[in-house]
Structure 1
Amino acid sequence: MDLPNKGLVALAATLGASLASAATPDEELGRRMDTAIERAIDQQRIVGTVVVVMRDGQVVYQRAAGFADREAARPMTGDTILRLASITKPMVSAVAMRLVEQGKLSLDDTVSQWLPDFRPRLADGTQPPITLKQLLTHTAGLSYGFLEAEHGAYRTAGVSDGLAEPGMSLEDNLKRIASVPLSYPPGTQWCYSLALDVLGAVLEKAGGKSLPVLTEELVTGPLAMNDTGFSVKDPARLGAAYRDDRPRPSRMQDETTIKVGESTTLFSLQRIFDPRAYPSGGAGMAGTASDVARFLDTLRQGGGPVLSAPSVQAMMTDQVGAQAQTQGPGWGFGYGWAVLDDPALAGTPQSRGTLQWGGVYGHSWFVDPQARLTLVALTNTAFEGMSGAFTREIRDAAYPAP
């Protein structure tokens, strides 16, 4: 079923209004959030979204709007499952910190202690050690294929970014990553990378179990995140995936390539259903907005029952500094997310110490500890829902007007 554009927009607005939280404690917050969501859907910048706002540990706003599957006219609902992409990273980082607490590994361990065959070299042939802390902070000298030009070193070597190549094993991908020269000496620079995929292999060795099992035992299980994992618990609730296009987002095919400038991102919608696909520690999970909000707000409150307060504090501390500015000037990087160091420089209403990241399928989130605020905005539209105007509009709507 494929309705005409105007009919779709009208139906999406009606569905969104009917699915808004009936009891928003902060009515002004509700009006601001509704306006931001409805504008993005009316302008056909996103197809559907689920937004959850928590303050002081309580849900103060929750809304599902638009379509989970536009062509089938299936509305987005609060329990729609979406491919999480890089929202996976904070959860896997929490698994790592939990194993540190259990004494099963140290962040000062070298990767080669756990993965003897993973020994990438610099361009000059030297083989520097890489620590687990450097993996967590993306200072290990690794990169991502989608950050390179179409025929960059990672693409030439057939490296998977964890979003496509569904049949590839982790062992195979590690060999391919190690075959590419390091981008810089570990610990000297910052570059967003496949480090969490490498870390996932280390966690499996240290924990003695697969990454999906470890994540369920140490993070999603204790928090009753029943819809979130490295597989889709209920495929009937999985949302379709869309990409930016004109006059409206277009539906992704099973294999989709999106090129922006010189960089190319490969997607495989079937990857998460393929039992041969390795569990990508950087991009491999699917889940719901409410599950993600519960996880993030648990860490905001100190981490119990997942982590101790000192471990959470280390995760929330900028470990890198100004060179880690993928979120723009004023941002650094901790373990699993960006950390806001200078709100004025960043031009944001968020407080110093805010944590923020997103996911390439169309997601954004932030945690503002000073404001005791957690916001999760999952969409099914890449890249608008991750880095477009919608992310800024929904962020600003979370704060009172100055």
Structure 2
Amino acid sequence: MLPSSLQSFLSILLLSLGTHSSPTQHPLNTPKSSHLQFQLRHLHATGNNSRIIFKDVHTSSFAPLAPSSPSSDLTWSLPVRTSVTKRHRPKDLREFARARRRSRDLGESAILEWIEEDVDGPDVTDRGTVLELAKMTNNAYVEDDKNKEWYNIGDGWNHTRFGWEPDADGFRGHVFASTDNSTVILSIKGTSAGLFGGGGPTAKKDKLNDNLLFSCCCARISWQWTTVCDCYRGGGYSCDQTCLEGALAEESLFYPIGINLYNNLTYIYPHANIWVIGHSLGGALASLIGVTFGAPVVTFEAPGERMAARRLHLPSPPSTQHVTHFYHTADPIPMGVCTGPLSSCWLGGYAMESRCHLGRSAVFDTVTKLGWSVDVRTHGIVAIIDRLLSQEWEKGTWTDNSTDPNPDPSKDPGKDKDEGGSKGELPLALPEDDCVDCFSWEYQ
């Protein structure tokens, strides 16, 4: 049963959706179009009291760039292609929550019933689609299109300014919806800090989440560091596992806030197919949310989140292939090498030690193929948008079947498609099967 205040809020929000052009909702498994059009529908943020703030964006907020614009429905025509994506979602989310508690409190695994189904997810072999999703993740960092860092993803339309609430200092981003409400995209902002090219009111909580989710033990790097929890047990590399998991269970952290937000979206769009995207910390959170609900996920330059998923006691579905990570080898953060006293992460107070990802990873080998130097300044989403995804690469530049022990030509992004799909311009997305995090540490 929803609290009365939330019911009132959602009622107002649902009524406001009527101002959009006659949306028709479809069952999850029956989206037919291979191309989607999206509108920015909501801004979301979190206040300093962990209250989720929604801002509905009305079509009246958009204005044409020129009076002669041929479009009259105030939509953004995005070249987003879909493809059939197999996912596994828990049959009962209450059982999912109970399984998490049982694993955390008793150290026992529970057998969950998972629903396997095919849904329309983003075509992660199509460069144009991945590029547009990357632009959406970039725009989650900025307030409106008046900011020079905003990417115009419209077709002759701009976004009118909508500010986030003054007390919003945490989890934030944008919500996009297709014109028929069949697909909704939740775009989550990543870390805002001078180290990664920004700053602002969310920087403190962003850093706390980074150091809890991606460090081996509470950001205990050396005696000089102030830890974010009291789980270090001395003796070199010894950490209290129960203490660490308790620290990640704090309700003020971003994962439970993201779960709450996703649930709100399913209430607003009960029949929509929801995708989750994000960059950096936002990408890792997108993956954790996607694994929880079975939502298709695309991330960019995300730190390894597999260790965080285990510490959060997320039950493992039969497959996480609906999660796709894009990153490049010159970025030390997703590669797990932004460590040591001479690294930028160390100097900035970030313990970015994890490197193992869930799902599949499509890795641009920019060090070998383009001669890039390993540099944290390449971590920003702009680098992957402007220098990789916006470029037309020769077929096969990034694909190498020799890295796949069981190559399947039908799944090779280098294979041409009949209708203008990928032409080998993206790396193969492969699971990180042999990856190990924090091998020097002992957990008690």
The structure number with the bigger radius of gyration is 2
Between Structure 1 and Structure 2, which shows a larger proportion of helix residues? 1
Query: Which of the pair has the greater relative contact order for Cα pairs under 8 Å at 6+ separation?
Result: 1
